[in-house]
Amino acid sequence: MESENKSILWLPLQKTGTNKYSGILSDDSLDRDGEIIDKTLLMKWAGDIDKYIPGLIDHQNKVENLVAKLINPHIIKNETEDRYALAVEPIFFESNPKAKMVKGMLDEGANIGLSIGALPKSSEIRKMNNKDIKVWTDAELLEGSFTPIPANRNAFAVVAKSFKLEEEEISKYIKREGEEFVVYSEDGKVLGRHKTKEEALAQLRAVEANKKSFDEELEKKFEQTENEIRYRIREPDQFDKFRSKDLTSGVRAIFGRKKGSDKWEIQAIRFDKNKFTIEQARTWINEHKDIGKSINIEEENKMEDEQVKQLLEAIKSTSDAISNLKKEVDELKVKKSEEDEEEEKEDEEKEDKKLSRKEELKHITSEAVKSVDEKIIQKDEFSLRDLINLKYGNIGFVK
C-alpha cells in the first residue's frame, strides 16, 4: 500500500513465549499493490541496529499511540525460496494502557500484525513473470505499527512458517554438538544432552511449559502503586508483625513474623519505580526465583538481634557516660557554690572589720569631743588657741 509520502506494508506478528513476541517487519514478497521492497534495502535496515524504531498503533503519530519500541532488527532467510525478511522484537511500554490492550489481544490470539511506515526515496521497475513490478531500492524506515488489516498477500501462518520464526527461536536453545543435541537455558547454562533432536525438543517444551506456568503465576503477584512495584510472595494475613530490609539499590524485602511463632519469612519484594520498570522488576524476580528460600531468615534475625544488642550496649554506655558527666557537673556546681559562699563570708568579715574600725574611730572621736565639751563646760582655763587646737587640731594661729 502506498500513500503520497509513506509506503506501508503489513506482515504478521506472533508470540514466542511469555511476554516475548517476534514479528516480520517487512519482507521481499509482492504486496497487494504489486510492489516489493528489495532485499538490499532490508539488509540496510537490519544493519542499522542502533536505530530507534517506534511501535505505533495504526500509523498514527501521537504520543498515546506509542505503545512499543522495536528492537533487534535482523534478517531471516528462506533458503528454499531465496526470500528475505526483516524481523524485530517489540518491547511494550506497559505504562501505556493501549500497550496493555495490544498485548492482551495478542495473548488471546488476535490477528495483529506489523506494518512498516517508510519514506520512499528511490525505486525501479523490474520484469517478474512477464509483469512490470515496482521495487523499492531505498527508503527511510520511520516506524512500525500494529494493525489488524494486511496489505501483504501472504496469510498469517504462511509467512510465519515460510520464514520459520519458531525454528529460529528453537535454534537459540538447542545446538548440535558432535553426536548430541544440547539444550541451553536463556543465560547459556546446559540443561540437558540428548541423542535425538526430538528428545531435546521435548525437554525444551517442558522447560517452556514450566516457565510459562511460572510467568503466569508471576503476573498475578505483581501490583503497582504510585511509587513502587510490589511482588507478593506470601499473603500478609499470615503474619502479625512486619519490617523491611534493603537488598540492593532500589529493591527491599518485607519480612513478616509468622502468627503464633518467632519465625520470620519474606512476605514481599518492593521495587522503587525511580529505578525499576515493571519489565526490569520481572527480570529481577526471574533471576531470583528462590528469593523466598535463598535468604536465611533465622540468620538474618540472629544478625539483626546481635546488631540490636550492640546498639543497646552502645546506648547504655553512652547513658552511663552522660550520667557520670552529669555527676561531675553537679559536684563542680556544689564545689563552686561552697567556694562562692566562703568568698562571700570572707567579704562579709572584711566588711564587718571595716565597720568595726569605723565605729571604733567614731567612738574615739566622740569621746574626745565629749571630753573637750566637758572641760569647756567646767570653765577650765584654756586659751582660745588651746581650745581650737584641742578640738580641731593645730591650724597655725600665730601669737
In a domain, 369, yes or no: no
Integer Cα distance of 184 and 191 in angstroms: 5
In a domain, 53, yes or no: yes
For residue 247, what are the domain limits? 229-281
Q: Is the pLDDT of residue 238 over 80?
A: yes
Same domain for 14 and 157? yes
Strands (E), the chain: 7-17, 20-27, 35-37, 53-57, 68-78, 83-92, 113-128, 131-147, 174-177, 180-184, 190-194, 222-224, 228-232, 239-248, 251-258, 264-272
Mean pLDDT, range 141-145, rounded to an integer: 87
By CB neighbour count within 10 A (0-12 exposed, 13-18 middle, 19+ buried), where does 379 fall?
exposed
Same domain for 179 and 31? no
Of 266, 281, 296, which residue is a domain's last? 281
| Cell numbers given for 148 | 489488524
Same domain for 89 and 166? yes
Number of domains within the chain: 3
pLDDT tens, 332-381?
A: 888 888 888 888 888 777 777 777 777 777 777 776 666 666 655 554 44
Integer Cα distance of 170 and 317 in angstroms: 65
pLDDT tens, 60-75?
A: 889 999 999 988 888 8
Of 281, 300, 316, which residue is a domain's last? 281
CA 371 from chain center: how many Å? 107
Cβ contact 27:163 at 8 Å: yes
Same domain for 45 and 165? yes
| Cell numbers given for 27 | 519482507
Q: Is the pLDDT of residue 199 over 50?
A: yes
pLDDT at 350: 77
Q: Whole-prediction pTM value? A: 0.41
Integer Cα distance of 174 and 177 in angstroms: 10
Of 224, 239, 258, which residue is a domain's last? 224
pLDDT at 163: 47
β-pair type (68-78, 222-224): unpaired
In a domain, 297, yes or no: no
In a domain, 90, yes or no: yes
In a domain, 304, yes or no: no
Q: pLDDT: is 82 or 329 the higher one?
A: 329
Same domain for 54 and 166? yes
